[in-house]
Structure 1
């Protein structure tokens, strides 16, 4: 089984060494051993866990959600309802954010449409509307 120094994990995962240390302090990964030179060496399991964390972060899952998923993963015989619930709640949050972003997009489009001419800044309808709101 391979053992990696923190710099090697950083290159393989794209996480900074500080991020890797952070996940270690949160006890999401553990070094497999410390060498005589005091370097930490991490196992293939630590690499897999960091890749799992990376995929979760790419989905904008919170640290708390990731910690919960990891705890659930360590109970393989348990019903996966709890995992589904985490994802369902996160999906609802994403849908809410999308609705907010769509609203922002419409407001910005309306603002932009209010000024289609080459006016001076003191005549800019966008700035006038923003001041009025």
Structure 2
């Protein structure tokens, strides 16, 4: 079984050593052992877990959601319902954010349409509307 120092994990995952230490402090990973030189060494399971966390974070899952998924992963006899519920809730949050972003886009487009590029700053309708809001 391969062992890695924290710098090697960092290179393999693209995570900073600070991030790896943070995940360790949250007990999401554990070093396999600490050598006489006081270096922490990690096995493949820590690498696998860090890659899992990284993929979850890329999907904007919260640390709490990741912790729950890891806990569920350690109960292989359970059905997937709890995992589905977490993803469904997160999907609803993403859909809400998309709706908010669409609203922002429309507001910005309206602001942009109010501007006559030939006018001076003291007559800029975008600035005037932003001040009025």
Question: TM-score with structure 1 length normalisation?
Answer: 0.98
1:118 CA displacement:
1.7
Name the CA distance, whole Å, in 2 between partners of 1:54 and 1:33: 23
Name the CA distance, whole Å, in 1 between partners of 2:13 and 2:83: 24
| Contact 2:116/2:124, CA 8 A, preserved across alignment | no
> How many residues are aligned here?
133
- Structure 2 unaligned runs (5+)? none
Q: Equivalent residues in 2 for 1:1-133 (5 A)?
A: 1-133=1-133
SS in 2 for 1:42: strand
Q: Which moved more, 1:69-78 or 1:114-123?
A: 114-123
1:117 CA displacement:
2.6
Name the CA distance, whole Å, in 1 between partners of 2:36 and 2:118: 70
Deviation string for 1:25-69 (max 9, x for gaps)?
111101011111000000000000000000000000000000000
Question: TM-score with structure 2 length normalisation?
Answer: 0.98
Name the CA distance, whole Å, in 1 between partners of 2:70 and 2:110: 45
